[in-house]
Chain A
Amino acid sequence: MKKALSVISAIALLASSVAATGCSKKDEATTKDGKTIINLWTFTDEVPGMVKKFMATHPDFAAKYEVKETIIPTTDGNYQPALNKALQAGGKDAPDFFCAEAAFVLKYTQGDMSSYAAPYKDLGIDVDKEIKDADIAQYSVDIGTNPNGDVVGLGYQATGGAFIYRRSVAKAAFGSDDPATVSAKIGGGSGSWDKFFEAAEELKKKGYGIVSGDGDIWHAVENSSEKGWIVDDKLYIDPKREEFLDLSKKLKDNNYHNDTEDWQDAWFADMKGEGDKEVLGFFGPAWLINYTIAKNCGSWVDTGEKDENGDAIQELDTSIGTWGDWAVCEPPIGFFWGGTWLIANKDSTKKDAVGQIIDWITLDCTKDGLQYMWANGTLNGEGGTKDSVASGTVMAMSDGSLDFLGGQNMFDVFVPANQYANGKNLTQHDEKINQKWRGQVRQYTAGNKSREDAIKDFKQEVADELDIH
């Protein structure tokens, strides 16, 4: 009896340890009520929000499928390693489709991981015709096309950039807050930074900064360069990117900015106008206005109540903060920044279902499609945030006037800006290399090392960690 008991318990222990190793493998995952689960991996709650809307507008689809999202922020560089492992591991928990950001999308469409990307045509999408009908921005298609010439990823945004400035600061410094005047002052469309620094000097005399930190001009510099970091498998420092050392140093030495780092508290404080000195503006695409500046403009007041997710409900109070005090104008140098691409896993067993969601988000150019709602801010009802989208067809039928911009129609500036965007100066290692480059530039501008040493150490770091010489 004793013996039998001990054998049984030993077997139970063994079984549990084996079960923990995950030896069981099932391809089709279902919920308790029999719906098929579609796994979505992403880094913000943006795409999950779209999927929710898709489910709400497509009840037949929602009756059959349920989308389970996994959200891992990219901030600490954790998204990619986790996503790679999930793709490699396969099985029922593998992503059926996932999002990739501009900084690393090439890895999944053209680089090391591109063999996991399913061509859109295999998802039941008539991709060539639909791209033409929707008039999708060319750079978005270029970035999403794999080496075989198949489209494997598309975005929903167009992320051409503009200069986003404070009307009150412009009025005080230049005497006018008109976009044309400000654009002329900072050398909009001139392709050079000369006028920009003249304007910075003018602003400095009146006690203002021109930008918040050097990161603000970095994105303009980065995406306006001719070539990317890697040319013919070798590290290449584009002259425009190398010039960033001097631009950054000039900003810091002359105290033209508040010396903040992007995405840090001090950067957000400048959006409220609460930094060391008030700054004129920021470089960025439409999403920066709606998701970053508008949320951090300091005009939101807690009502004390909470929504169903436990987040505080906020109310707009335009008497405080910088709401309505903004406008956009043409930047000195054309650029684009960011964007999210949707890619399906070639191993997914639910390609058709995934295809329907992706088609609705990236290619549907009707008023019921995502892009129309996205551009006009009607995704979650009237009055939501507006954004510039990839489909030219949709942009033509949309209105980009924003109260936040004092009634200005931002599409007047962003539609031309989108033509500057090009998908040819990206590489799959941009996120990593940018981080190292910005770090060395910071060392140089802080006066900790010489220009030559900064470049030398940058090359050394890239060679050591990425084996790119």
Chain B
Amino acid sequence: MKTKLKGISYSKYGYLFSIPFVVAFLIFTLYPTIYTATLGFTDCRGVLNDNYHFLEHPFENFKEILKNDSFRVSLKNTIGIWIANFIPQISIALLLTAWFTSHSNEIRGKGFFKVVFYMPNIITAATVAILFHSLFNYPVGPVNDILVSTGLRDSSYYFFTSKTASRLIVAFIQFWTWYGNTMIVLISGVLGISPDIYEAAEIDGANGVQTFFRITIPNLKTVLLYTLITSLVGGLNMFDIPFLFLSGGPDRATLTTSVFIYNLAFSGNYIYNRAAAASMLMWLLIAFFSAILFYIMRDKDQIKIDKEIKKAKKEAKRAAKGGVNQWQW
């Protein structure tokens, strides 16, 4: 009996099968992360430098980065562009989710629309960047042609010298490529909510709006938190579109922190140490913002219940221990 039980233990195969992942993770994720973190404290710069040392003042690179005007500009841009893309993105995605999952009025061709809305996400960033670049081209381009021929403007508008226009276009591209993805995630979240609740609401006479705000949204909280955090992390690491579209221009208007870090490290003077320091600062920032989001979105009711359960358990324990005391009064 004993030996047989031993044979059934499959746990070692679990370890065995996870080895490839662990090895790949150690080599391709953990090691580079630690390497980057340490580089930030060294004097490593120059394309062929493998002879570098730790600095006397370990935080010099971090100080330099915080003083760096372009870094500050890029941080503002990154956050600005992310907010300008996320607010419309989540609003439109929620609206579409509400329509697609509505129990009262079924929409025909749902699958078709889902595919269509998701489509921009499949196109590669390089293609999208080129597409929008030619759309808004100056002095001749489709958008300018429309503006002039409809009489909205007398002459062509130079979109790519205007900081606001360039930022808005980048934010729009981000919104346009990601709202479909967000929508799919939200829809799957809604489909996970028990139909019983909706049925109950229907019987109680709740209308569509009430159902959406009183049932869908509260039950979607965890999915919303997931969307918010992945979007935040993705947004603060935004690289491809700003880099490919106008490579950070005009006048640093679409320079995001990732583009700045890339420029610092790989396309100029190879200032690896400061780029590493900037990366670590971004890491801290993202971790900080994520923590705040987790705190704000925490399930207050669940925490209350947990506390009460704990309290009750404690009381029960105390009661069990000093059972006699209870009868003292």
**Residues of chain B in range 251-277 having any CB-CB distance to chain A below 8 Å:** 251-252, 260, 263-264, 266-271, 274
A429 to B251, Cβ gap below 8 A? no
B23 contacts which of A17, A435, A446, A448 (Cβ < 8 Å)?
A: A17
* A112 at interface by CB-CB < 8 Å: yes
C-alpha spacing A432/B268, complex, angstroms: 7
**Which of A80-88, A221-229, A278-286, A367-375 forms part of the interface with chain B?**
A80-88
Given contacts A17-B24, A112-B47, A464-B68, contact A446 B139 (CB under 8 A): no
* A450 at interface by CB-CB < 8 Å: no
A residues contacting the other copy or chain, number (CB 8 A)? 46
**Residues of chain B in range 93-144 having any CB-CB distance to chain A below 8 Å:** 134, 137-141
User: Is chain A's binding surface mostly helix, strand, loop or mixed?
Assistant: helix
**Which of A59-67, A178-186, A264-272 forms part of the interface with chain B?**
A264-272
* B84 at interface by CB-CB < 8 Å: no
User: Shortest CB–CB separation between residue A327 and chain B, in angstroms?
Assistant: 26
* A386 at interface by CB-CB < 8 Å: no
User: Shortest CB–CB separation between residue B116 and chain A, in angstroms?
Assistant: 29
* A113 at interface by CB-CB < 8 Å: yes
Residue among B158, B162, B269 facing the most chain A CB atoms (10 A cut-off): B269
Residue among B23, B134, B268 facing the most chain A CB atoms (10 A cut-off): B268
**Residues of chain B in range 1-46 having any CB-CB distance to chain A below 8 Å:** 13, 16-17, 19-20, 23-24, 27, 46
C-alpha spacing A439/B48, complex, angstroms: 30
CB contacts (< 8 Å) of B250 on chain A: these are: 439, 442-443
User: Shortest CB–CB separation between residue B54 and chain A, in angstroms?
Assistant: 19
* B178 at interface by CB-CB < 8 Å: no
Chain A, Cβ-Cβ closest to B267: A77
C-alpha spacing A7/B163, complex, angstroms: 59
B251 to A448, Cβ gap below 8 A? yes
- A-B residue pairs in contact (CB < 8 Å), sample of 29: A7-B16, A10-B13, A10-B17, A10-B20, A14-B23, A16-B20, A76-B247, A81-B266, A88-B48, A112-B46, A112-B48, A112-B270, A259-B138, A264-B137, A265-B134, A265-B137, A275-B140, A429-B269, A440-B251, A442-B161, A443-B161, A443-B250, A443-B251, A457-B251, A460-B69, A460-B70, A465-B264, A466-B269, A467-B271
CB contacts (< 8 Å) of A88 on chain B: these are: 47-48
CB contacts (< 8 Å) of A10 on chain B: these are: 13, 16-17, 19-20
B134 to A468, Cβ gap below 8 A? no
B140 to A266, Cβ gap below 8 A? yes
C-alpha spacing A266/B137, complex, angstroms: 8
B48 to A113, Cβ gap below 8 A? yes
CB contacts (< 8 Å) of A457 on chain B: these are: 251
User: Shortest CB–CB separation between residue A426 and chain B, in angstroms?
Assistant: 16
A269 to B263, Cβ gap below 8 A? no
User: Shortest CB–CB separation between residue B260 and chain A, in angstroms?
Assistant: 7
B247 to A432, Cβ gap below 8 A? no
**Residues of chain A in range 12-44 having any CB-CB distance to chain B below 8 Å:** 13-14, 16-18, 21
User: Shortest CB–CB separation between residue B79 and chain A, in angstroms?
Assistant: 18
CB contacts (< 8 Å) of B27 on chain A: these are: 21
Chain A, Cβ-Cβ closest to B27: A21
CB contacts (< 8 Å) of A259 on chain B: these are: 138-139, 158
User: Shortest CB–CB separation between residue A443 and chain B, in angstroms?
Assistant: 5
Chain B, Cβ-Cβ closest to A15: B20
C-alpha spacing A16/B260, complex, angstroms: 36
Chain A, Cβ-Cβ closest to B274: A467
Given contacts A6-B13, A266-B139, A276-B139, contact A446 B158 (CB under 8 A): yes
* B62 at interface by CB-CB < 8 Å: no
**Per-residue A-contact encoding for B69-81, CB less than 8 Å = 1, 0 else:** 1110000000000
C-alpha spacing A77/B263, complex, angstroms: 10
* A260 at interface by CB-CB < 8 Å: yes
Pairs of residues from A and B, 6 with the lowest C-beta to C-beta distance, nearest first: A464-B70, A446-B161, A13-B20, A10-B16, A466-B269, A17-B20
* A115 at interface by CB-CB < 8 Å: yes
C-alpha spacing A112/B47, complex, angstroms: 7
A464 to B17, Cβ gap below 8 A? no
CB contacts (< 8 Å) of B268 on chain A: these are: 429, 432, 465-466
CB contacts (< 8 Å) of B293 on chain A: these are: none
User: Shortest CB–CB separation between residue A187 and chain B, in angstroms?
Assistant: 28
CB contacts (< 8 Å) of B140 on chain A: these are: 265-266, 269, 275
Chain A, Cβ-Cβ closest to B270: A112
* B249 at interface by CB-CB < 8 Å: yes
* A258 at interface by CB-CB < 8 Å: yes
A465 to B263, Cβ gap below 8 A? yes
* A238 at interface by CB-CB < 8 Å: no
Given contacts A14-B23, A88-B48, A460-B70, contact A80 B16 (CB under 8 A): no
C-alpha spacing A7/B16, complex, angstroms: 8
CB contacts (< 8 Å) of A461 on chain B: these are: 70, 252
CB contacts (< 8 Å) of B274 on chain A: these are: 467
CB contacts (< 8 Å) of A13 on chain B: these are: 17, 19-20
CB contacts (< 8 Å) of A460 on chain B: these are: 69-70
C-alpha spacing A6/B9, complex, angstroms: 14
C-alpha spacing A467/B161, complex, angstroms: 25
**Per-residue B-contact encoding for A349-370, CB less than 8 Å = 1, 0 else:** 0000000000000000000000
* B147 at interface by CB-CB < 8 Å: no
* B244 at interface by CB-CB < 8 Å: yes
Chain A, Cβ-Cβ closest to B244: A76
**Residues of chain A in range 407-431 having any CB-CB distance to chain B below 8 Å:** 429
C-alpha spacing A465/B265, complex, angstroms: 9
Given contacts A6-B13, A10-B16, A77-B267, contact A115 B48 (CB under 8 A): yes
**Residues of chain A in range 439-469 having any CB-CB distance to chain B below 8 Å:** 439-440, 442-443, 446, 448-449, 457, 460-461, 464-468
Given contacts A266-B139, A443-B250, A460-B70, contact A84 B161 (CB under 8 A): no
CB contacts (< 8 Å) of B13 on chain A: these are: 6, 10
User: Shortest CB–CB separation between residue B257 and chain A, in angstroms?
Assistant: 12
